């Protein structure tokens, strides 16, 4: 408090000295324009000293102005994020946020972010962390543990499946911003027109797609049966894991000992996608699609079925962006024959860089973004599935996103990708294998899968020997 008053006294003394100088120069100094300027300076200086000393005018302790750099991808719903940042600025005027936009692709984003963290870049304060990066970042020391900030009582407010994605080695490294799982969106108007109910199996989906596309060909020549994510990036692994899982297979054994790509069940699932999805009901352009590209043909009315994450509901039903608003349905992904469906667990975490000089302020920002009011805001404005259990059951949220009611069980049962620090390297092998298998129909699947298994098993061996 003494420093606050000393600063104010120095400011007043400065202005009084200026006034004395003015008075000595001009006889009618009360009328002088320079006096008015001096008085204005006095007001500004006194006001600024009070603000710098204590925004509430009570404690007298100086408040440090901090700029946080937040690394994130370009938002699918920029207006929702702009409003969130504006709300934060109102409550924390001493903390300004600079957003550094990374590529939308999780793979490209990972490469950019890890380069900064490897270099111990202190300009990065906090970042979005894909759930699959947690073991890698924690093992490398690239993310700050949050155990001292994120209390067990607060953690209990989040869905267990979402919380688990941020844990590794007995510590918590991220706060769930959302929970994601793959879903099937469809043209409800077209299915009703042809007397169909949403498909429960992938073969049933193919049959329905072909009937509808054939029936609509004269009036909608651009219509295709399916749109999804099949470009060589992390989303391709999610999509293929869902097809493989619905057939009863898995990428790697549950104990992370052995890659299983050459297993006959897995090979049959990959061949099904290559011959029946990409080669039959979907345009081959899907081989270049990530999430943003894949949703475009659907909302333009050029796809009957579309696989994507929960945010798609809001996009597809926004009449300003979608030609099919009000004619969209969503259900769990289909299964294969008599087997239950499988869906990939997705999601992003708020995380703090251990090299940041502003870790406490970064935590303030994360607390704000992950709070109940903000999760409700993102659910209503952007269709993002909240990771807080209470918000996921909030009546306003469910009214705007009725599909959340039926998806809760799917969120809990979604399949996580292998949790190992070596996953990014494993994913690179999986991406190359799946991309070649789908893009080149003359590729020998057994040979390609066997070679990929060998490469992944080598990585798993390295991981075991490094423990």
Containing H/E element for 109?
helix 106-118
**What's the full length of the chain, in residues?**
467
Provide φ and ψ at 227, rounded to 5°.
-140, 135
Can you give the pLDDT of all 467 residues of the chain as single tens digits? 433 333 333 333 443 343 344 334 333 433 444 444 444 433 333 343 333 334 444 445 566 799 999 999 887 788 999 999 999 999 999 999 999 998 878 888 999 999 999 999 999 999 999 999 999 999 999 999 999 999 999 999 999 989 999 999 999 999 999 999 999 999 999 999 999 999 999 999 999 999 999 999 999 999 999 999 999 999 999 999 999 999 999 999 999 999 999 999 999 999 999 999 998 999 999 999 999 999 999 999 999 999 999 999 999 999 999 999 999 999 999 999 888 899 999 999 999 999 999 999 999 999 999 999 999 999 999 999 999 999 999 999 999 998 888 777 778 778 999 999 999 999 999 999 999 999 998 999 999 999 999 999 999 998 777 66
Q: What is the pLDDT of residues 75-88, one digit of tens each?
A: 778 899 999 999 99
Phi-psi region of 346 (alpha: psi -120 to 50; beta: other; left: phi over 0): beta
Q: What is the DSSP letter of 450?
A: H
Q: What is the pLDDT of residues 142-153, one digit of tens each?
A: 999 999 999 999
Helix, strand, or coil here: 117? helix
Give CA–CA dist 282/78, Å, rounded.
30
Give the relative orientation of helices 2-25 and 33-53 as an angle to the nearest 10 degrees.
Answer: 180
Give CA–CA dist 355/333, Å, rounded.
41
Q: What is the pLDDT of residues 15-41, one digit of tens each?
A: 334 334 433 433 343 344 444 444 443
- The confidence score (pLDDT) of residue 4 equals 39
Is-contact 304 223, C-beta < 8 A?
yes
Give CA–CA dist 298/315, Å, rounded.
10
Containing H/E element for 379?
helix 372-382
Is-contact 250 316, C-beta < 8 A?
no
Give CA–CA dist 262/259, Å, rounded.
8
Buried b / exposed e along 101-139 (16+ C-beta atoms within 10 A): ebebbbbebbeebbebbeeeeeebbbbbbbbbbbbbbbb
Is-contact 42 98, C-beta < 8 A?
no
Cβ neighbour number for residue 61 with a 10 Å cutoff: 11
Task: Provide CB contacts within 8 A for 150, sequence distance 6+.
Answer: 172, 175
* CA 143 distance to own-chain centroid: 17
Is-contact 336 269, C-beta < 8 A?
yes
Cβ neighbour number for residue 210 with a 10 Å cutoff: 14
- The confidence score (pLDDT) of residue 86 equals 96
pTM for the whole structure: 0.82
Angle at CA of residue 160, ends 312 and 68, nearest 5°: 65
Is-contact 134 166, C-beta < 8 A?
yes
Give the relative orientation of helices 234-246 and 106-118 as an angle to the nearest 10 degrees.
Answer: 130
Q: Which residue is associated with the tokens 């929960």?
A: 310
Bridge partners (DSSP) of residue 99 are: 70
Give CA–CA dist 223/347, Å, rounded.
31
Q: What distances in angstroms separate CA 161 from CA 158, 175, 344, 410, 462, one per listed residue? A: 8, 12, 12, 11, 29
- Please give the structure tokens belonging to residue 265: 């069940």
Cβ neighbour number for residue 275 with a 10 Å cutoff: 12
Phi-psi region of 169 (alpha: psi -120 to 50; beta: other; left: phi over 0): left
């Amino acid at each position: 408090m003494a420093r606050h008053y000393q600063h104010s006294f120095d400011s007043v003394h400065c202005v009084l000295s200026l006034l004395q100088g003015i008075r000595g120069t001009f006889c009618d100094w009360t009328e002088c324009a320079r006096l008015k300027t001096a008085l204005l300076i006095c007001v500004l200086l006194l006001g600024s000293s009070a603000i710098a000393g204590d925004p509430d005018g009570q404690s007298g302790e100086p408040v440090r102005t901090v700029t946080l750099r937040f690394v994130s991808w370009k938002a699918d719903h920029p207006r929702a994020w702009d409003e969130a940042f504006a709300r934060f600025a109102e409550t924390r005027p001493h903390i300004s946020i600079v957003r550094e936009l990374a590529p939308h692709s999780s793979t490209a984003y990972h490469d950019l972010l890890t380069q900064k963290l490897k270099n111990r870049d202190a300009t990065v304060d906090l970042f979005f962390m894909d759930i699959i990066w947690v073991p890698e970042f924690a093992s490398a020391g690239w993310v700050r543990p949050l155990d001292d900030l994120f209390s067990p009582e607060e953690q209990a407010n989040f869905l267990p499946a979402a919380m688990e994605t941020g844990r590794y080695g007995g510590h918590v490294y991220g706060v769930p911003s959302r929970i994601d799982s793959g879903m099937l969106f469809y043209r409800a108007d077209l299915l009703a027109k042809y007397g169909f109910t949403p498909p429960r199996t992938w073969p049933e989906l193919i049959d329905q797609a072909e009937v509808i596309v054939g029936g609509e060909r004269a009036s909608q020549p651009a219509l295709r049966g399916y749109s999804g994510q099949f470009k060589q990036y992390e989303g391709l692994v999610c999509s293929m894991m869902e097809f493989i899982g619905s057939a009863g297979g898995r990428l790697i054994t549950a104990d992370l000992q052995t890659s299983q790509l050459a297993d006959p069940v897995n090979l049959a699932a990959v061949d099904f996608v290559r011959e029946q999805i990409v080669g039959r009901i979907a345009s081959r352009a899907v081989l270049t699609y990530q999430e943003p590209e894949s949703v475009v043909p659907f909302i333009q009315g050029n796809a009957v079925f579309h696989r994507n994450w929960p945010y798609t509901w809001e996009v597809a039903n926004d009449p300003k962006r979608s030609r099919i608003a009000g004619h969209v349905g969503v259900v769990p992904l289909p299964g294969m024959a008599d087997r239950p469906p499988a869906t990939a667990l997705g999601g992003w975490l708020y995380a703090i860089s251990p090299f940041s000089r502003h870790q406490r302020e970064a935590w303030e920002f994360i607390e704000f973004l992950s709070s109940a009011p903000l999760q409700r805001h993102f659910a209503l404005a952007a269709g993002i599935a909240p990771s807080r259990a209470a918000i996921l059951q909030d009546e306003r949220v469910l009214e705007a996103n009725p599909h959340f009611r039926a998806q809760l069980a799917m969120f809990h049962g979604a399949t996580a990708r292998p949790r190992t620090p070596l996953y990014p390297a494993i994913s690179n092998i999986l991406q190359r294998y799946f991309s070649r298998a789908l893009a080149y129909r003359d590729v020998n699947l057994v040979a390609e899968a066997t070679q990929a298994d060998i490469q992944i098993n080598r990585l798993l061996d390295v991981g075991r020997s490094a423990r």
